[in-house]
Structure 1
Amino acid sequence: MSLDPDLFQVTITDLARHGERPAVLTAGGVLSYRELAERVDDVVRRLGPERRLVMLAARNDLESLVGYLAALTAGHPLLVTSADKPAAQESLAAAYDPDVVLRPSDGGLALEERRPGTRHDLHPELALLLSTSGSTGSPKLVRLSRSNLMENARAIAEYLGIGPDDRAATTLPFTYCYGLSVINSHLISGAGLVLTDLSVVDPCFWELFRDRGATSFAAVPYSFDLLDRVGFAEMDLPSLRYVTQAGGRLAPDKVRAWAETGQRRGWDLFVMYGATEATARMAYLPPDLAAGHPGTIGVPVPGGSFRIEPVEGLPDGELVYSGPNVMLGYAESPEDLALGRQVHELRTGDLARRHENGLYEVVGRRSRFVKIAGLRVDLGQVERILADLGATAAATGTDDGLIVAVEGEQDAGMLAKVLASDLGLPRAAVDLQVVERLPRLASGKIDYPAVRDLAAPEGTAPAVGPRREGPADVPSIFAECLDRPDVTPSDTFVSLDGDSLSYVALSVRLEAALGQLPSDWHLRTVGELSGRREPRGRRLVSFLEPSIVLRAVAIICIVAAHVELFTFHTAHLLFVVAGFNFARFQLSGERPARLRRQVRSLARVVVPSVAFIAVAYLLTDNYSIANIFLLNGMIGPQEVTSEWHFWFVEMLVYVLVAVTALLAVPWLDRLERRVPFAFALGLLAVTLLSRYDIVDPGLPKPMPVFWLFALGWAVARAGTTYQRWTVTAVAALTVPGFFDHPLREATIIVGLLLLTWVPALPVPSVLRRVTGWLAAASLFIYLAHWLVYPVLLPLGQVAAVIGCLPVGIGYWALCRWLPTAFTRWRRSRNAAPARESVSA
């Protein structure tokens, strides 16, 4: 490791001594330290020799980096603000009246000289001015010296082991002290910066990360939610050495989970603790201790130390930090820029304890207490109570009452009652607001002033009464149908792990709210769908996707055939629909996300099927143990008996297991993503071996159906007219002769043609919702009808068919309700210890 101990105190030639080593790597190219030094030197000359107050409106770009280094190198005190927040710029400029303003402009650095010299009295040690929040235009700034910057950068480089071969991706804003510390610690080490303003949810970010061989990136707690969404845990990132986390407390279970993920994938997780007032970092948790001590902040950074000062009336004391990175003090006006050191140790305001192993743990905030109705309320404890109930929340308030924001789809009334009861407060003292997303600063921290602004105006009350759903209700429709409280505008049906069972119920409700849906609605974001125009007037005819109509019609025909009302075979058509839906809903995103969706979808078929068949086994003599375990096709009798009633479910499960295992192979998964239609045709070609009995796959009889599933898969992957004609031709050539039953074969071909060529089918509006119910519950109707129709058959065949449908729909509704009910019960059980620990 090569550290430059005087980076911010020497001339630009010392920056250049790293020569041709890469300093800045972007999507557009690589800039060496020598080239960076030349650019910095040019701006130094433009700033002039007289020491002046410089304001930099910064972005995560090369021009901002050059301006930052130039001001510090030349000794000009630098006030950093965000180029993307004009209001903050104007506020700070009005408050401090900088002599020079730098801002990136058209690929260069614009320099606005507001006066030839300076009007300020600037202390010799003053080097940098940062907002305490990293986002607003508040006039209260942190005054940092060159020594603060150098010493903290050196300490960070030491405990992270940063060397010349390291390259950090800039995942945080330039104006945030955490993001700036990444830049400082790498430049002081002669390491490289992969400079970008792309988000971690953008695939281009990870392409850049791989292409430039980045070894690390910085994350705040909210970043890990985004990383989880993009499947980061399973990404192939061979150059990644470590991930750092700061900017707020990451829940211990998440620390443990991500630390274990890092151990498994070959990278380290550094949990860190800091503040702008300490130039960035005060403590870090060694990676080998993260999984075992996830609730701690670790040990002080090199050169720093902690002590715990007792606080009267509290069991834990205040954490106080000392070290060379402690700020000079605050500035609230231009006159404060002349002040020297006013602070020698930093009172963090955090309540902490020191463990016997030397690790420190923060247990709360000294200042995050309010006194309501004579009771002392810990706002951090409020957030923890709600977290135990499964709600992500931010709490603030005054002595008049609590103001709490809860994220996602939640029962505000229930949560408010629990809080009031647990805390011993009057219900009227708790103002709980449900929001789509908690307000956050650019740093990713909770914006508590914005939470306070959410307080309901006095005298207002929520609207009540039924109403027709419209575009504004799209997020809540997604949340309810998919049982996902974390729906965001950027989510899609696929990204939210939707499958064919939930697709129907969701599409029917969306169609009622939005009118006819586009054929690719499942790939469109919630935000896009919310922006669609609400339909006007009542419509006699609605339009539903062919897959929905086919499922509804097919299940009625199956039940009718079994009660011998009429015979119209449609079961094999459902395998085509199953393959079609599998390819649409289970084959998007990275491999971990795909695999997760496929396993969940399989479970949603297996669990209710096994449960129902087990009941049928107990109530009748028609079935065997092999039926319960879906193994009749493998080990049951070859002659057709009642034990073959559930052959459809067994075959569907076998096929889903097979394709899930197939796509769990990394190179096959990559091949499918690279050439989806060709892969589908290749799979179809292989499965046709069983269709023509060229190879006996050993699958149960009746006839093999894997090729029908693959045929539906190919339909879903046919994105051009040529590809659709290809699938049509394959169906026309392979389906005839399979059953030796022309009507049965024609049914499959017609159904496939509808899926391939027809975007929507007309359905009387009065039957729209019923059609949706039948389609969504088709599997459950299939299961239930074997027990129901023999009981109803004495009433007539029509009565038997009609009676089976609501029973199956009821079982479907029960299976949807039970997981949600169990989750709520578990949350209430987990909340009990938290309630007992709250004291007045």
Structure 2
Amino acid sequence: MRFACDLGRFGDAPALVTAHETLSYRELDERVEQQASKLGTERGLVLIAGANEIDVVVTYIAALRTGHPVLMAPGDNSDHLDGLIDAYRPDLVVRNSDGRTAIEKHGRQSKHQLHPDLALLLSTSGSTGSPKLVRLSHRNVQANAESIAEYLGIRATDRAVTTLPMHYCYGLSVIHSHLLRGATLILTDFSVTDPQFWDLVRTERGTTFAGVPYTFDLLDRIGFDQLDLPELRYITQAGGKMPQDRVRRYAELGRRRGWDLFVMYGQTEATARMAYLPPELAATHPHTIGRPIPGGSFHLQVVDDAPDGTGELVYSGPNVMLGYAEGPDDLGLGDTLDGELHTGDLARRTDDGLYEVVGRLSRFAKAFGLRIDLQYVESALAQRGLTACCTGGIDELVVVVEDGDVDVVRRTTAQASGLPAAAVRVCLVDQLPRTSTGKPDVRAVSEIAGRPYPSDTVPTTADVKALYAEILHCSHVGDDSTFVSLGGDSLSYVRMSLRLEEMLGRLPESWHTTRVRDLDQAPRLRRGWRRVETNVLLRALAIVLIVGSHIHLFSVLGGAHVLLGIAGYNFARFHLAAAERTERTRRVLRSVARIAVPSMVWIGAVIALTGDYRITSAFLLNGILGPDGWSAEWRYWFVEAIVYIVLAAVAVLSIPLFDRLVRRHSFWFPMGVVGLGLITRYGLIEVDDTPNRILTASVVFWLFALGWAAAQANTVLHRVWVTAAIVATVPGYFFGDTQREVIVVIGLCMLVWLSSVPFPALLSRVAGVLASASLYIYLTHFQVYLPLRDDHPWLAFALSIIVGILYWQAVNFALSLGRRVRSRARHADRSGATEPDMRVSEVG
């Protein structure tokens, strides 16, 4: 390798510089000769733990000069280093020991069959922890160094600062190409976020440095555009695709400041570089990788299902590797590729003769019949300023993203992928896992995305925040957020409680008012069991009893009146915690709308199609303007009662006096409301003398108040008081229907005394769905079961449940769509920009 053997010709020009030492090319050449004698003349495999230090660089060049194949390994990853030693059994190991570079003979030395052309072994991009290596020849390394030096125009006066690790092909190529031209290498392990790094750049008059996309993330954070770097001549970028706007921005910044930006494309399999974008084209063609490097060429190979005009990018050139090594037996192999590399990237050739990578063949996911380009989705997110890595799940796309706006992430991902937003799962992390070279660690990302719950892995605060953001559709969830403070209500409560219980192992007491940061993992139940909150289980059982009794499969009445108590219970838990009356009113009205609007839409549609009900029912006014006696309109009494009662409650609590009373006497205030309700319950004020009285809001609101009191019963004495009120007042209400009275008493007492119950895991999921969809099942089942009840009662029952669940999903979809439209409108108002074009290829 000529550049390793011809260093002395540059004389006293500085070769290697650190904060404490400078080595000229003549001194470097002498040190290399001394180190070469220590390595010996018998050709053997030398493993070098890479570090940006003079002794390590000297040893590396010495090995190349004497013909020893070098296996470069990360010096900062002992596990990977030990794994490579075990896998390849090197003859010599060079690593830092007690502050100095030591050469160790391997204890289990074995004679390797080493091909004469073999010069360098590097880990492939993304193969961290794997023994798979790229085999490079002396010709590969020399040719790529010459090509890079040519298109960058490297001069002997250039002084390159090492921003990348030496074991990474990009970082190593900086060393090769600058030593080739007699330029200076400023060796440092400081990060670009360290002030010492920039002090060193200024002191040593650095003219260039290299960066991966993550490097530019860091540069943005430190305000790079404000730094005074008078000697800077050019910056190079590779190691992954950088967002177009950032490429354009840095290219324009360089033009103003007098330096160039070279965007480059490469793979370890091509020694380092295959293409570069000339600086004068960076601002106008930031989406491309540019043109092939000197001595190389591209062609596109047809790929099935690929968009027209695209194909797999195939590179030919003298820098293409000999092949891969899976173990020591492969070190004796020669060239298996004949200078042609299938990159695995999907690309197209532009009209300007430049190449654009549009996807990665191995980075596609498939969900709902769509073949999704993960890299394209990540690029779309990057255009929003989001740092993310995507991976496929089971009929879902998982986005692991550094702390951001979940709504924006989900919406952008859905648009870029063509998936519905419900099929996008967002995992918030404080920092995206990365390899030592700064690239996203795809394996670690997959572990985060695929983390099963429950598991032995303790969920992080970011996991919990992502779950809250997903279910409550919040743009921001803070560490101090709670379910209640984020506007959670009874309609989102069931899904949230089940998902959170699945994540944490068991729900803490008062989880709905507990801060996100305090939702620690609780002890788990035995495998196959969950704890289901009592009100969730009661909602599921109640709707089953209601539907089954109406179909005459059995006759167990009372479920709807239990649901009234649950409504009061949830009103107290979710709405009374709001700090301000106006905020409470807003939340309650929103919850009422989520009940009333779907009900009015369904009933209105039924009236339009069948004419079964009066128009007053569509506006939930049957209890006020409907007929006196029993009629079909009374089927929806429960919905009307809930709407009337909740509106009346929030109206009363909007009065400052009552607001103060409920805050000071959180338990006794609802008990007073119970007493008030008993006036109409016992007919002291006659409201209705027909059987409809047990369905009238002004009469049944005492059950709502009992549920409210149950939620505020924080002591045993309080629970006894509520229980006594239940047992004393429910009997006799249902005109002697003892069975119904027993059902209501048992249901309300369970609310008082049991916060949750153990339940089989599979059945808990069923219960969660039934509870979440209970309102919608109640709304729709009348139209489903009536035509089938007499001849096919069980079919009527099953279809009643299914149709209600489908309507529930349709309402949720409509709500989600509305949120996306509003979010898009807000974003357009803020940015004045339209959405970028998104694309996805469909297969199958």
Q: TM-score range by the shorter chain?
A: 0.5 to 0.7
Q: Does 1:334 align with 2:320?
A: no
SS of residue matched to 2:266: strand
2:66 matched to which residue of 1? 74
Pick the aligned partner of 2:406 from 407, 411, 414: 411
Coordinate RMSD, CA, aligned: 3.2
Q: Does 1:360 align with 2:352?
A: no
Cα distance in 2 between the residues matched to 1:836 and 1:233:
33
Counting only pairs closer than 5 Å after superposition, residues 626-665 of structure 1 correspond to structure 2 as none
Closer/same/farther in 2, CA of residues 362 and 216 from structure 1, 3 Å limit: same
1:455 matched to which residue of 2? 449
Q: Contact 2:134–2:324 at 8 Å: present in 1 too?
A: yes
1:402 matched to which residue of 2? 397
SS of residue matched to 1:453: helix
1:401 offset after TM fit, Å?
A: 3.6
Cα distance in 1 between the residues matched to 2:127 and 2:837:
34
Q: Does 1:280 align with 2:276?
A: no
2:34 matched to which residue of 1? 42
- String of CA shifts for 1:786-814, please: whole Å, max 9, x gaps: xxxxxxxxxxxxxxxxxxxxxxxxxxxxx
Q: Contact 2:80–2:129 at 8 Å: present in 1 too?
A: yes
Cα distance in 2 between the residues matched to 1:116 and 1:74:
23
1:354 offset after TM fit, Å?
A: 1.3
Q: Could you tell me which amino acid in structure 1 is paired with residue 195 of structure 2?
A: P
Closer/same/farther in 2, CA of residues 418 and 301 from structure 1, 3 Å limit: closer
Q: Which runs of 5+ in 1 are unaligned?
A: 467-472, 479-512, 515-818
1:409 offset after TM fit, Å?
A: 3.1
1:419 offset after TM fit, Å?
A: 4.3
Cα distance in 1 between the residues matched to 2:399 and 2:252:
33
Cα distance in 1 between the residues matched to 2:55 and 2:450:
44
Pick the aligned partner of 1:169 from 139, 144, 161: 161
Pick the aligned partner of 2:51 from 59, 71, 75: 59
Which of these two proteins has the greater Rg computed from alpha carbons?
A: 2
Cα distance in 2 between the residues matched to 1:433 and 1:137:
24
1:430 matched to which residue of 2? 424
Q: TM-score, normalised by structure 2?
A: 0.54
SS of residue matched to 1:350: strand
Pick the aligned partner of 2:237 from 245, 249, 257: 245
1:380 offset after TM fit, Å?
A: 2.3
1:124 offset after TM fit, Å?
A: 0.4
Cα distance in 1 between the residues matched to 2:480 and 2:12:
56
SS of residue matched to 1:454: helix
Q: Contact 1:275–1:281 at 8 Å: present in 2 too?
A: yes
1:112 matched to which residue of 2? 104
2:259 matched to which residue of 1? 267
Q: Contact 1:389–1:831 at 8 Å: present in 2 too?
A: no
Closer/same/farther in 2, CA of residues 310 and 76 from structure 1, 3 Å limit: same
1:210 offset after TM fit, Å?
A: 1.2
SS of residue matched to 1:250: coil
Pick the aligned partner of 1:376 from 371, 377, 383: 371
Closer/same/farther in 2, CA of residues 415 and 204 from structure 1, 3 Å limit: closer
Q: Contact 1:134–1:177 at 8 Å: present in 2 too?
A: no
SS of residue matched to 1:364: strand
SS of residue matched to 2:449: coil
Closer/same/farther in 2, CA of residues 389 and 157 from structure 1, 3 Å limit: closer
2:140 matched to which residue of 1? 148
Cα distance in 1 between the residues matched to 2:348 and 2:96:
45
Q: Does 1:160 align with 2:142?
A: no
Q: Contact 2:348–2:355 at 8 Å: present in 1 too?
A: yes
1:300 offset after TM fit, Å?
A: 0.7
Closer/same/farther in 2, CA of residues 86 and 17 from structure 1, 3 Å limit: same
1:352 offset after TM fit, Å?
A: 1.1
Closer/same/farther in 2, CA of residues 151 and 424 from structure 1, 3 Å limit: closer
> How many residues are aligned here?
489
Q: Contact 2:45–2:71 at 8 Å: present in 1 too?
A: yes
Q: Does 1:393 align with 2:388?
A: yes
Q: Contact 1:142–1:327 at 8 Å: present in 2 too?
A: yes
Q: Does 1:445 align with 2:439?
A: yes
Closer/same/farther in 2, CA of residues 474 and 37 from structure 1, 3 Å limit: farther
Q: Contact 1:100–1:115 at 8 Å: present in 2 too?
A: no
Q: Contact 2:46–2:63 at 8 Å: present in 1 too?
A: yes
Cα distance in 2 between the residues matched to 1:312 and 1:827:
41
1:382 offset after TM fit, Å?
A: 2.7
1:6 matched to which residue of 2? 2
Q: Contact 1:404–1:430 at 8 Å: present in 2 too?
A: yes
1:308 offset after TM fit, Å?
A: 1.0
1:291 offset after TM fit, Å?
A: 1.0
Cα distance in 2 between the residues matched to 1:232 and 1:87:
35
Q: Contact 1:241–1:267 at 8 Å: present in 2 too?
A: yes
Pick the aligned partner of 2:129 from 137, 140, 147: 137
Cα distance in 1 between the residues matched to 2:174 and 2:75:
19
Cα distance in 1 between the residues matched to 2:468 and 2:301:
55
Q: Does 1:346 align with 2:341?
A: yes
Pick the aligned partner of 1:311 from 303, 310, 314: 303
Cα distance in 1 between the residues matched to 2:831 and 2:452:
31
Closer/same/farther in 2, CA of residues 397 and 167 from structure 1, 3 Å limit: same
Q: Contact 2:344–2:360 at 8 Å: present in 1 too?
A: yes
Closer/same/farther in 2, CA of residues 475 and 15 from structure 1, 3 Å limit: farther
SS of residue matched to 1:55: strand
Q: Which runs of 5+ in 2 are unaligned?
A: 455-462, 470-475, 482-516, 519-821
Counting only pairs closer than 5 Å after superposition, residues 559-638 of structure 1 correspond to structure 2 as none
- String of CA shifts for 1:555-609, please: whole Å, max 9, x gaps: xxxxxxxxxxxxxxxxxxxxxxxxxxxxxxxxxxxxxxxxxxxxxxxxxxxxxxx
- The percentage of aligned residue pairs carrying the same residue is 54
Closer/same/farther in 2, CA of residues 353 and 417 from structure 1, 3 Å limit: closer
Q: Could you tell me which amino acid in structure 2 is paired with residue 187 of structure 1?
A: L
1:446 offset after TM fit, Å?
A: 1.3
2:801 matched to which residue of 1? none
1:402 offset after TM fit, Å?
A: 2.3
Q: Could you tell me which amino acid in structure 2 is paired with residue 430 of structure 1?
A: V
SS of residue matched to 2:336: coil
Cα distance in 2 between the residues matched to 1:836 and 1:361:
15
Cα distance in 2 between the residues matched to 1:197 and 1:120:
33
Q: Contact 2:366–2:392 at 8 Å: present in 1 too?
A: no
1:36 offset after TM fit, Å?
A: 1.3
Closer/same/farther in 2, CA of residues 150 and 384 from structure 1, 3 Å limit: closer
Q: Could you tell me which amino acid in structure 1 is paired with residue 341 of structure 2?
A: L
1:92 offset after TM fit, Å?
A: 0.6
- String of CA shifts for 1:89-114, please: whole Å, max 9, x gaps: 11111111111100123453201112
- String of CA shifts for 1:448-499, please: whole Å, max 9, x gaps: 1111101254456958899xxxxxx998579xxxxxxxxxxxxxxxxxxxxx
1:85 matched to which residue of 2? 77
Q: Contact 2:202–2:229 at 8 Å: present in 1 too?
A: yes
Closer/same/farther in 2, CA of residues 277 and 421 from structure 1, 3 Å limit: closer
Q: Contact 2:271–2:319 at 8 Å: present in 1 too?
A: yes
Q: Contact 1:58–1:104 at 8 Å: present in 2 too?
A: no
Cα distance in 1 between the residues matched to 2:831 and 2:230:
42
Closer/same/farther in 2, CA of residues 257 and 338 from structure 1, 3 Å limit: same
Pick the aligned partner of 2:213 from 204, 213, 221: 221
Cα distance in 2 between the residues matched to 1:465 and 1:171:
39
Q: Could you tell me which amino acid in structure 1 is paired with residue 439 of structure 2?
A: K
Cα distance in 2 between the residues matched to 1:83 and 1:135:
16
Q: Contact 2:56–2:101 at 8 Å: present in 1 too?
A: yes
- String of CA shifts for 1:190-216, please: whole Å, max 9, x gaps: 111001111111111111111111110
Closer/same/farther in 2, CA of residues 337 and 821 from structure 1, 3 Å limit: closer
Q: Contact 1:134–1:443 at 8 Å: present in 2 too?
A: no
SS of residue matched to 2:437: coil
Cα distance in 2 between the residues matched to 1:78 and 1:827:
54
Q: Contact 1:135–1:443 at 8 Å: present in 2 too?
A: no
